[in-house]
Structure 1
């Protein structure tokens, strides 16, 4: 679970900026009420995963299937693909169901796929394998989950 949290950077959402002479635009949540745990639980139904848990104030969720893997989903309305590219090494551009995405290994046993949702938002899917001998399955599993997550995301 710590790996899922480490794959994200800290941001402060919901704070109003002080008044200034520079025009500002109000940030909106493109995910408009979508809950990462509800989505992850829906996608994991019948596959032996525990119910997803969100252990932070962010819209992210982690679910474990004992002896197999941990799947994580984060819906980030502030950071887009460009931020993913700058905070991860070995990033590969890809496409998930026709939508721009990026993929990167998060560890020897983990893989992250960021799916673009507009210019400044993304859905981040992470698969972290439990057994060393399954490490090569992290990216195929993350991709499979990302392909199931993508149709549930807002178009942007």
Structure 2
């Protein structure tokens, strides 16, 4: 049987911490997560069959953080058409990342977002959900990239200006 890549979405959520620009990170703690558990990540998850990616992103962020997305950069420029019984959507994420080995095959569309609400302490998939300043995250990513879930490193590096 042919194995296929799994479409996923992720959210780099912008916010504030102590008057500084910040983003939301969390520790990965998935049931059966193996060596990936304990890694830092942004809120992310799988897109269900025929689910609009923006709906999926809002669902995943709510499930993993308790926050409601108020803005997804690029959503306003998405294009939806219905032709011959097909409803199709085109969109431009901040970055698309594909793992070429390791774990299971994922194609991850990461978006820059804003959200509101109150953070959960933890969920069945995450712990230590918190705001971290851009500067602190940048330094952490530079010093210890292995602390981050590999599929989020490129988007975070681009967002934070880490080479």
**If the TM-score is normalised by the length of the shorter chain, which range does it land in?**
under 0.3
Which protein has greater RCO, CA pairs closer than 8 Å, 6+ apart? 2
TM-score relative to the length of structure 2: 0.26
TM-score relative to the length of structure 1: 0.27
